[in-house]
Structure 1
Amino acid sequence: MTTLTATTPTSASNAAHPRGLYVLFATEMWERFSYYGMRALLVLYLVNALGYKRVDALEMYGIYTGLVYLTPIFGGWIADKYLGLRLTAVIGGTVMMLGHFAMAVPSLLHVALGLLIVGNGFFKPNTTSMVGELYDGPTDPRRDGAYTIFYMGINLGSFFSGLVCGTLGQKVGWDWGFGSAGVGMGIGLITLVAFQNILGRSGLKPGQRPIGAHNLPVILAFTAASIALVYGVLAVWPMLKGLLSGIPGWLSIAIGIAVIAIVIRLWSKLTAKPGQVTQPLTRAEWTRVAAVLILIVFVAFFWMGFEQAGGSMNLFADKQTDRHLGSFEIPATWFQSINPLLIFLLAPFFSMLWTANNKSRFPLPDVAKQGLGMIVLGLGFVVMFIAQNRANALGPVGPQWLFWVYALHTIGELMLSPVGLSLVSRAAPHRIAALLMGIWFIANGIANYFAGALEGILAGSGIPPYAFLLASSIGMGVLLLILTPMLNRMLQARDAVEAPDAPLQPALA
């Protein structure tokens, strides 16, 4: 019998989505509300409340947002190997909720950030994967639509986060802003547990019972272990940071490339089931992997620029933007809501645009779309560079400057991000597809770190950060367009006897 719940998967011929999708939609919406609400306040809190120097605040922002992209790899592994997706997500939500509430206590700042990083690792990859488990398999035609709906939940939470958490934090008190983020995470956690019967078996291992009181010892144990891990890392962080700072940049890149190559070679053996014969990558597969790794370098430059939104551009909104509407002063965090609002408005248009282009006589290669996205990002920094110079010379500028920067950056994101994720899922050899997607997100994490550390890196060079970003974004975009024919051939490389890879579930940033 066909139903609309996840207990019995809906027939692929039926266009209706399982009701469990909307449980996960609401859960993710509240989690993203908490994450982006806290992120909108972080740099402003460090500078305005705790007295951090601008460069130090931006570096801490970069370290935090960078590590947020790293921990989901471990959280996904723990879920797959031991706990199951649903229980791991509940643990992650619990740890993150504690982290948000701890942000309200200045002396617990570093502990709070650590808990948010660890909790995100448990939560983020597993709610995303649970969406896929609601459906009949990778060929279910409703899956892409499901992830589109799920992605809208992310943007809905992001849109309201700056308006609610930001307003409370800046107008009432920082503890109110951070506390509201914790409340949002708590609502998301309650939603997941209270309505889990609608999810059916999604997120549960074979024979595993739904989340209940019997799981409390495991949840408390992992929460306590997360707290202990954070304190342990904080104890050795100064020494670790000193060691890493002594490694030249070129050597770090060389080590990273070597590690990636070794891990790719070993991945299929490490993930093989007992008795399974593993085959080495063919020449054509290595060619596609090389093309993806080259693209990852370009994408890292994109996110290094894009993630200025929560850092330097957030401070520009706070310090150098005239935000007065009569007697009311617009909170600086409200500018963080422009991006998700424009994604809601523009995403359908870009979906139709790419569909029409792909059916035309002269379809634009995906690599070229990404190159154009980087150039559009650079145009946003042209506007930002002019606005910064005007503000330095004449005083605060009008809010329209930041609006156009965010608009251009959103257009660039829509041209690069969804296209890139789809490209990786198609080009990656099936047995290392998860690994390559993980490397893609690790590169995003590295880019987030450099987004925050950029001003410190450029200090003393005489190069204004926005001038560097406009040059790097446009320059890398033009270079990517030049390399498009070569990369397109590499991505399409196939062996004569190679079977096409199975379709993969979409991944979300």
Structure 2
Amino acid sequence: MDTTQPQQGHPKGLYTLFFTEMWERFSYYGMRALLTIFLTAELATGGFGLDRAESLSVYGVFTALVYLTPILGGWFADKILGQRKSILVGGLVMAIGQFMLAAGSSIDLFPDVETRKNLFYLGLGVLILGNGFFKPNISTIVGDLYDNDDPRKDGAFTIFYMGINIGAFLSPFVAGTLGEKVGWPYGYFVAAVGMLFGILWFYARRGTLGDKGLPPTYKEKGLTDLVRKDWIDVILYTIGIVAFVFLVMFIWNNSSETIHTILVWILGIGGVGFIGTSIFKGTTGPTEWTRVFVILILAFFNIVFWAGFEQAGGTFNLFAQENTDRVVGGFEIPTTWFQNINPIVIVTMAPLFSILWVKLAAKKMNPRTPVKFAMAMFIGAIAFFIMTQAQNGADAGNIVSPMWLVVVYTLLTIGELMLSPIGLSMVTKLSPSNITSIMMGVWMASLALGNYLAATLEQILTTYDFALYPFITYLMLTSGVCLLLLSPILNKFMKGIH
């Protein structure tokens, strides 16, 4: 099927991917909204009774690995499976992981807390690997629907990003409310069902994608759909991934701290070597190398932004629970509902940004990617300056107005719209064609580091007697200035790509 459309519209395949991603994000953000408050909840309520530092540590490791495994999933898609099969595998694996979380949070099914912990952490591990196969590959197909010089491409990623945030908007209301008010297992169960909806939609609408995302050899054969053998592969990979996570967890639980440290170093060195080798083999000529260099530089600044932004699911979530006046007219607002501010703002403003970039491009006034990144940093710095004032009020013993969090979330979301969809688009435009999924995985790795720093910065800074929110304010401000200074060089290295 021909996926090309008139220049003023978008391919039908974009909306197939839009709703697939919407349901996957419904699943992920439903789980994310519950995670830290579930981990810190008392044992009698079904939680694990962890303290603040422990829960943030689990949250940080989980969210970091969620964005790190796309490097592996990107490689499998590029070399073996193709993006389409990888999405099906990843979605099924994540649904299984969510069902495990539901079981692991149920006292009725598993009264013993250690059994529940093992099952819950196994579910998190399964989610991590499933996400690795799903996340980079759906973004890659979005990019493949457009030529690199197509002015609709940035707008398409902004529309796609809106799909992400419709899912993120619905999930705290549904999964968050069920988890907090009815029972933890119900929140995780509905997240699993949401993931299954996404996979069914993707399969039903696969015809709108043409030949995009098929295994590497299929274009030579003229095939436009998966064949019977592909479904056997999907089932085998799904079973294999779950079994692999179980094996890793079994070895981890039955080995010493020394072995843990050695394994982490082996995986770290092996991962960096794998990325470096893949980039080196897949990049040829000065034009491709300078474009890859731009991706790596902007990925570094991406780490900074997400180290601040991802306070949303960590310290902001705990701030909403512990320091915010959540009672309105006798009704106590669930903590998870504050997670809705971000997707509400995105769903409202993403179409405006999509139109804005096209209008500015028509007038030759569209800011280059590094400048958009700098603008995101400056807006983030303002947000964390405001959050510093809110924290000062809480430190003085006050329960503060929820409007502090509303304003901070809104500003950070505007910064996100300046950076995140633009970054996804930039990677697909600048990457050498044969390692696009690998470079998307590298981009996700920068998100991984940002997420990990988001969860660990508070503990690190406490050692040096430095407050978290002022530190992030200065960090983002400095990063914005550096990006403006570097933008002429980066623009030149992009070799004509806007």
Deviation at 1:123, TM superposition (A): 2.0
Which residue of the partner structure matches residue 228 of structure 1?
Answer: 243
Q: Residue 116 in 1 paired to residue 135 in 2?
A: no
Do 1:9 and 1:18's aligned partners in 2 also have CA atoms closer than 8 Å? no
Whether 1:453 aligns to 2:446 is no
Structure 2 residue 279 is the aligned partner of structure 1 residue 264: yes
Measure the CA separation in 1 of the matches of 2:442 and 2:332: 42
In 2, Cα distance between equivalents of 1:51 and 1:43 = 11
What's the counterpart of residue 165 of structure 2?
A: 155
CA distance in 2 between partners of 1:158 and 1:371 (Å)? 26
| In 2, Cα distance between equivalents of 1:246 and 1:146 | 39
The reply on whether 1:39 has 2:32 as its aligned counterpart is yes
53-62 vs 358-367, greater mean Cα deviation: 358-367
Q: Which has the higher contact order (CA 8 A, sep 6+)?
A: 2
| Cα 1:128–1:372 shift into 2, 3 Å | closer
State which of 172, 178, 185 in structure 1 corresponds to 2:195.
Answer: 185
* 8 A contact 2:278–2:435 mirrored in 1: no
CA distance in 2, matches of 1:159, 1:307: 16
Query: 1:197/1:285 Cα in 2 relative to 1: closer, same or farther (>3 Å)?
Result: closer
> For residues 396-432 of structure 1, what are the alpha-carbon distances to aligned partners after superposition, in whole Å with 9 as ceiling and x for unaligned?
2111000000011011112223344444555556666
After superposition, residues 248-259 of structure 1 pair within 5 angstroms as: none
Is 1:28 the counterpart of 2:21 in the alignment? Answer: yes
Deviates more, 1:52-61 or 1:475-484: 475-484
Give the equivalent residue in structure 1 for 2:74: 76
Q: What pairs with 1:302-341 in structure 2 (closer than 5 Å)? A: 302-341=305-344
**Separation in 2, partners of 1:325, 1:47:** 24
Q: Call closer, same or farther: CA 1:295–1:101 in 2, change over 3 Å.
A: same
Rounded to whole Å, the distance in 2 between the matches of 1:15 and 1:360 is 16
Change (3 A) 1:364 1:17: closer
Deviations along 1:205-243, whole A, 9 cap, x unmatched? 436795688766434422221122112322454556534
Following the alignment from structure 1 to structure 2, what is the Cα–Cα distance between the partners of residues 232 and 455? 33
Within 5 Å, which residues of 2 pair with 1:180-219? Answer: 180-196=190-206, 201-205=211-215, 206=218, 217-219=232-234
Q: Give the CA deviation at 1:457.
A: 1.9
1:9 CA displacement: 1.1
1:406-445 aligned at under 5 Å gives the runs: 406-427=409-430, 435-445=438-448
For residue 103 of structure 1, the aligned residue among 97, 101, 104 is 101
Task: Identify the residue that residue 171 of structure 1 maps to in structure 2.
Answer: 181
CA distance in 1, matches of 2:8, 2:367: 30
Deviation at 1:464, TM superposition (A): 1.5
Deviations 1:276-299 (A, max 9, x none): xxx5x33x6545544443332222
1:127 maps to 2:138: yes
Q: Summarize deviations over 1:371-390 as a string: whole Å, max 9, x none.
A: 22112101111111111121
- 1:317 Cα offset (Å): 0.9
Greater Cα shift, 187-196 or 67-76: 187-196
Tell whether the 8 Å contact from 2:84 to 2:214 is kept in structure 1 after alignment. yes
Alignment check: 8 A CA contact 1:300 1:443 kept: yes
Cα gap change, 1:342 to 1:430, in 2 (>3 Å):
same
Q: Which one of 338, 342, 347 corresponds to residue 345 of structure 2?
A: 342
Contact 2:384 2:472 in 1 (8 A): yes
Contact 1:12 1:142 in 2 (8 A): no
Please report how far the alpha carbon of residue 45 of structure 1 lies from its aligned counterpart in structure 2 after TM superposition.
0.7
1:169/1:177 contact within 8 Å kept: yes
Alignment map for 1:141-152 (pairs within 5 Å): 146-152=156-162
SS in 2 for 1:234: helix
Work out the number of aligned pairs and report it.
Answer: 470
The question of whether the paired residues in 1 share the 8 Å contact of 2:60 and 2:455 is answered with yes
Q: Which moved more, 1:11-20 or 1:472-481?
A: 11-20
Please, what TM-score do these two structures have when normalized by structure 1? Answer: 0.81
Alpha-carbon offset, residue 91 of structure 1: 1.9
The 1:330/1:197 distance shift into structure 2, 3 A limit, reads same
Q: Write the deviation string for residues 126-146 of structure 1: whole angstroms up to 9, x where unpaired.
A: 33344456x586677766655
- Check conservation: 2:87, 2:134, Cα contact below 8 A: yes
Amino acid at match of 2:201: T
Which deviates the most, 258-267 or 189-198?
Answer: 258-267
**1:89 Cα deviation from its structure 2 partner:** 2.0
Structure-2 residue corresponding to 1:276: none
| Paired residue type of 1:222 | Y
Q: For the structure 1 residues 449 and 265, does the alpha-carbon distance in structure 2 shift closer, same or farther, using more than 3 Å as the test?
A: same
1:371 aligns with 2:374: yes
Q: Does 1:13 align with 2:6?
A: yes
Percent identity over the alignment?
45
Separation in 2, partners of 1:141, 1:373: 21
8 Å Cα contact 1:38/1:165 also seen in 2: yes
Query: Quick check: 1:242 aligned with 2:253?
Result: no
Bigger drift between 67-76 and 397-406 goes to 67-76
CA deviations on 1:81-106 (whole Å, 9 max, x unpaired) are 33343333222211111110111214
C-alpha deviation, 1:481, in angstroms: 2.7
Query: In 2, Cα distance between the equivalents of 1:431 and 1:84?
Result: 12
1:272 aligns with none
Q: Which structure shows the higher helix fraction?
A: 2
- Find the aligned partners of 2:161 and 2:70 in 1 and give their Cα distance: 18
Hey, what's the Cα distance between the residues in 2 that align with 1:154 and 1:361? 29
Specify the SS of the correspondent of 1:450: helix
* Unpaired segments ≥5 residues, structure 1: 1-7, 269-278, 495-499, 504-509
Going from structure 1 to structure 2, the CA distance change for 1:358 and 1:30 (only over 3 Å counts) comes to closer
Alignment of 1:89 with 2:87, yes or no, is: yes
The question of whether the paired residues in 2 share the 8 Å contact of 1:12 and 1:140 is answered with: no
- Report the equivalent of 1:396: 399
Which runs of no fewer than 5 residues in structure 2 stay unpaired?
Answer: 42-46, 106-115
Give the whole-Å Cα distance in 1 for the aligned partners of 2:365 and 2:15.
Answer: 38
Secondary structure, counterpart of 2:396 in structure 1 = helix
SS in 1 for 2:463: coil
CA change 1:425–1:380 in 2 (3 A) is same
Check conservation: 1:34, 1:181, Cα contact below 8 A.
yes
Aligned to 1:296: 299
One-letter amino acid matched to 1:37: G
Asked if the contact 1:34/1:161 (under 8 Å) is kept, the reply is yes
CA distance in 2, matches of 1:360, 1:16: 19
